[in-house]
Amino acid sequence: MEDVQQQKHRRRLGQIVCGPPGAGKSTYCDGVSQFFNAVERKSNYVLNLDPASENVSYDVAIDVRDLIDVEVSVYRRTNQVKINLGRHLISSIDRLVITLLNLSTRIHERNHTNTHTHTHTHTQSVMKETGLGPNGSTIYCMEYLEKNFDWLKDEILELERNTPGESYTYLIVDCPGQVELVTHHESLEKIIKRLKEELGFELCAVHLVDSNFCLEPSKFLSSIVLSISVMLRIALPHINVLSKLDLLEKSGALKFDLEFYMNCIDVRGLLEQIKSSNTSGDGDNDDLDDDGDKLKPISSKQTRHTFTSLNKAFCDIIEDFNLVSFLAMNVEDKICMARVAQAVDKALGYSGGPGTKQIETLCSSKSFIHDLQEKYVRRTDAL
Ligand SMILES: Nc1nc2c(ncn2[C@@H]2O[C@H](COP(=O)(O)OP(=O)(O)OP(=O)(O)O)[C@@H](O)[C@H]2O)c(=O)[nH]1
Ligand SMILES: [Mg+2]
């Protein structure tokens, strides 16, 4: 009831920031929060969903790592230790969680004596207890959050109670880098669904891919396919972003103009490049072991032919359905940040609110892509 009443005068918006490990998600979350503060969209909050994150640079408004600390508190209470349970009491605790808590408590206590040991605390404890690796443990934590969604809901409502009279809440969600969370695992999808259905959030996925991938045609094609998988799975309005643009020039030269990678209009152009990079290593001495014996070829003509056909089929789908395009971004470039913010605003149908005018002004340049090209890109044919 309270949620519904709040919704009447408060719009709830958000970005789900996802992408492969190291794509720049946490840095972007920091950047977008700072950018929003600068354009007077101050009611923005970063939600850290990555239990393995070490030191995030942004101000964390809600932190999934606190969910486990909360449980530590519950565990302590059952052990007759005087603690302040606060507002986060969670009712159901299964056996596995209790053992997890024991480990968390020990690590938590150790951290009180040595603050420098706060490294991957929560996933490490899950890893130890469940025998899962780092990826499995992160997924475990996401399932745990899904089960305790009410904790997240309470945290959001608490933030809103602290800013009464505000017309909107803008959530920036920093996701873990495990792509399976956004391609086939269900927990994040369910969390998103509940944010939408129970709190009325309007959400947009911002999918980051390192712009370095443009340097290798097969990696770039894989990024497009990944973007499509994410789009299909989490079913939100979707903005793809090529991140770390400022590093691109140092890393290498592009075969095509930046616009080619951003618009994905003629991706069949990648096929020739992929073909030549696949065949460039073929020679008489390829695939020989130390004794000079001929090994079974790793990439036979037949395999190459199959992959060529598969790549061509991907390119046909990408072009025919016109599903994917990218914005390009250097997180320190306010015009790039404004372009991403504008695209997200459009996707969410958000206009006339705090910051929209400033964002519009920053995006007014007609030669934006050309300027990016000049500033950040080297072409192979210019070498
Ligand atoms: N030069 C430059 N470096 C960046 C940019 N974005 C991120 N980085 C750097 O790239 C590295 C990874 O960035 P993160 O923001 O931690 O990436 P992430 O996607 O959150 O990584 P995971 O959470 O581990 O998946 C860090 O060293 C950042 O400083 C950028 O726009 N420009
Ligand atoms: Mg991160």
Mean pLDDT of 106-134: 53
328 token code pair: 């390009």
The torsion of the CA quartet 98, 99, 105, 107, rounded to 10 degrees, works out to -150
Beta strand ranges found along the chain (DSSP E): 11-18, 44-48, 60-63, 168-174, 202-210, 238-243, 326-328
Q: Is 23 in the pocket of ligand 1 (CB under 6 A)?
A: yes
Q: Is 339 in the pocket of ligand 1 (CB under 6 A)?
A: no
Q: Are 207 and 238 in contact (CB under 8 A)?
A: yes
pLDDT at 286: 46
CA 314 – ligand 2 centroid, Å: 29
Q: Is 137 in the pocket of ligand 1 (CB under 6 A)?
A: no
CA 330 – ligand 1 centroid, Å: 11
Ligand 1: residue of 17, 18, 26 to mutate (most ligand atoms within 8 A of CB) is 26
Mean pLDDT of 210-231: 93
Residue 120 to residue 97: CA distance in whole angstroms: 18
Residue 16 to residue 25: CA distance in whole angstroms: 10
CA 142 – ligand 2 centroid, Å: 15
More confident residue, 168 or 266: 168
Measured between its terminal Cα atoms, the distance across the chain in Å is: 64
Residue 185 to residue 370: CA distance in whole angstroms: 39
Q: pLDDT tier at 314 (50, 70, 90 boundaries)?
A: confident
pLDDT, tens digit, for every residue of 261-312? 999 988 888 888 887 776 655 544 444 444 555 566 555 677 777 788 888 8
In DSSP terms, 242 is beta-bridged to 209, 328
The structure's pTM equals: 0.81
